Structure 1
Amino acid sequence: MSVLLSARGLRIAFGGLKAADGIDLDVMEGEFLAIIGPNGAGKTTFINMATGYLKPQAGQITYAGRNILGMTPRQIVRLGVARSFQLPQLFTEHTVLENTALAVAAREGVWSPFAPLLRPRFRREAEEVLDRFGLLPLAGQRADGLNEGARKLADIAMAVALRPRLLLMDEPTSGVASADKMGVVETLARVLRQSGVTAVFVEHDMDVVARFADRVAVWGQGRIMALGPPEQVLNDPDVRRDVIGIGPGEASHAAA
């Protein structure tokens, strides 16, 4: 596999807190990379830097061999990098179909909040995207009427409508009911893999990480503490103690 996103020497601090303290990381094309770690470790900061929402104080980030530091989020999206947020960024007064059509239109360079809703080709493509996520039956429902699992899928459907090559997701299961988590991730993993999209996702549910990640990167105090396949990383004694919260001799579903 080739390197799609590469970070070298990333550093950024907020006051005395080092959110990135020399981060080096390569994201390989086609993989699902999970980022785990305690709150405040710098996980979301990394996603914000990789998508243009924050500029590191030192270091570099390249995407497909191209330097993307200093680019705006919109410019980075146009290169093929999309993201979803911990809280879904939906237009709550619009329907699921209208939200997705807005994303299709944005990809085409149409930023008017009304034009996409009037163009049949945007709506047709939006319906195709929603069908892949199993959301077509909800196409006419307003976003503010969705349950959390459907809201998460609708948010990621909007990102996929941008036709990204790389998608970065900040806690895709946050707020989703425990009974719905695996179904939500199974759906998004299926769609992303079928579409050939590389994925990086921040996640706190170790069962989700163990099941869906190809590799796991463990963040701690702005540094990468461990990096490797889930069966290796999730059984590392330091990771189990400091991140998962399991002591020696204790069992966990994720590490089993």
Structure 2
Amino acid sequence: MSAAVHGGPQDRGANRPRQATPLLSARGLRLAFGGVKAADGIDLDVMPGEFLAIIGPNGAGKTTFINMSTGYLKPQDGTITYDGQPIIGLSPRAIVRRGIGRSFQLPQLFTEHTVLENAALAIAAHAGIWSPFTPLLRRGYHDQAMALLDRFGLGPVAQSRADALNEGARKLADIAMAVALQPRLVLMDEPTSGVAAAEKMGIVETLVRVLRDTGVTAVFVEHDMDVVARFADRVAVWSQGRIAALGPPQQVLNDPAVLRDVIGIEASPPSGAGH
């Protein structure tokens, strides 16, 4: 697979400041599970304000990279710095406190609580309160939580239990919980996984709008190439624990090797890739 241009992010956010210093920087990451190389010399910079998509076949190491960047896995070799400081060896909670949020492929919500209560718990956690009861008794947390949910279009389901939501709303709620912790960087593992095709674009439009409005940088693993073509500033292609291509979506998604090996077609690119 040929490597695309390793350049800076395409500026799709007109008001986003350009900075030369990466917010997150990985160098020489290596991690193997038995004979399987989940990371085989990963070098990647995530620039402030960008939306970086990670694509690749199942088992290529995409989620492994997110897990290493958020403290759930420790690489056997290499470094990860956030805002210029090393973060390998820190716990997931300590990394959250540094300013890195994370959403999961399967939403991590308190299903027995309402959406509003979930948001209140996340806001309280940012304030250092981890009690499962205190946030639910304070009006201030409820008010902040309601404002957060309104930004994500979740106000109408605020009083619904989390387990009553459809998959699209659950995904938005999970990302809202990450944003409640006021991160500068959010890593999202397949934010449209399991979401009905008719809902995908609207959901991603909502989360992109909220994250851009609040100046949050985002890295997201995604399998829907139309979503990638429309919303990513840059695309990193994972293959067997390595980055096989990196560059603007219109270039990467028109690479014949990417089309063949990742997207699974021989010629036509995704509908938005040439825009």
Q: Do these two structures clear the TM 0.5 threshold for a shared fold by scoring above it?
A: yes
The 8 Å contact of residues 253 and 270 in structure 2, kept in 1 or not, is answered as: no
CA distance in 2, matches of 1:216, 1:121: 40
2:182 to 159, 163, 168: 163
Of the structure 1 ranges 113-122 and 64-73, higher mean CA displacement relative to structure 2 is found in 113-122
The 8 Å contact of residues 225 and 270 in structure 2, kept in 1 or not, is answered as: no
CA deviation profile, 1:29-74 (whole Å, cap 9, x unmatched): 0000000000000000000000000000000000000000100000
Report the CA distance shift for 1:155/1:238 in structure 2 as closer, same or farther (over 3 A). Answer: same
Answer yes or no: is 1:176 the counterpart of 2:177.
Answer: no
The aligned residue for residue 118 of structure 2 is 99
Q: Which amino acid aligns with 1:38?
A: P
The aligned residue for residue 84 of structure 2 is 65
Answer yes or no: is 1:10 the counterpart of 2:29.
Answer: yes
1:1-256 to structure 2, matched below 5 A, reads 1=19, 2-247=21-266, 249-256=267-274
How far 1:255 moved relative to its partner? 3.5
CA distance in 1, matches of 2:119, 2:168: 16
What secondary structure does 2:49 align onto?
coil
Report the CA distance shift for 1:26/1:114 in structure 2 as closer, same or farther (over 3 A). Answer: same
How far 1:252 moved relative to its partner? 3.6
What secondary structure does 1:3 align onto?
coil
How far 1:137 moved relative to its partner? 1.2
CA deviation profile, 1:9-38 (whole Å, cap 9, x unmatched): 000000100000000000000000000000
What secondary structure does 2:254 align onto?
coil
What secondary structure does 2:90 align onto?
coil
CA deviation profile, 1:158-194 (whole Å, cap 9, x unmatched): 0000000000000000000000000000000000000
The 8 Å contact of residues 253 and 269 in structure 2, kept in 1 or not, is answered as: no
CA distance in 2, matches of 1:41, 1:83: 20
How far 1:254 moved relative to its partner? 4.3
The 8 Å contact of residues 55 and 238 in structure 2, kept in 1 or not, is answered as: yes
Aligned length: 255
Of the structure 1 ranges 119-128 and 139-148, higher mean CA displacement relative to structure 2 is found in 119-128
CA distance in 2, matches of 1:7, 1:41: 17
The 8 Å contact of residues 234 and 254 in structure 1, kept in 2 or not, is answered as: no
The 8 Å contact of residues 123 and 181 in structure 2, kept in 1 or not, is answered as: yes
- Share of identical aligned residues, percent? 76
How far 1:128 moved relative to its partner? 0.9
Q: Which amino acid aligns with 2:52?
A: L
Q: Which amino acid aligns with 2:164?
A: G
Superposition RMSD in Å = 0.8
CA distance in 2, matches of 1:139, 1:254: 34
The 8 Å contact of residues 98 and 117 in structure 1, kept in 2 or not, is answered as: yes
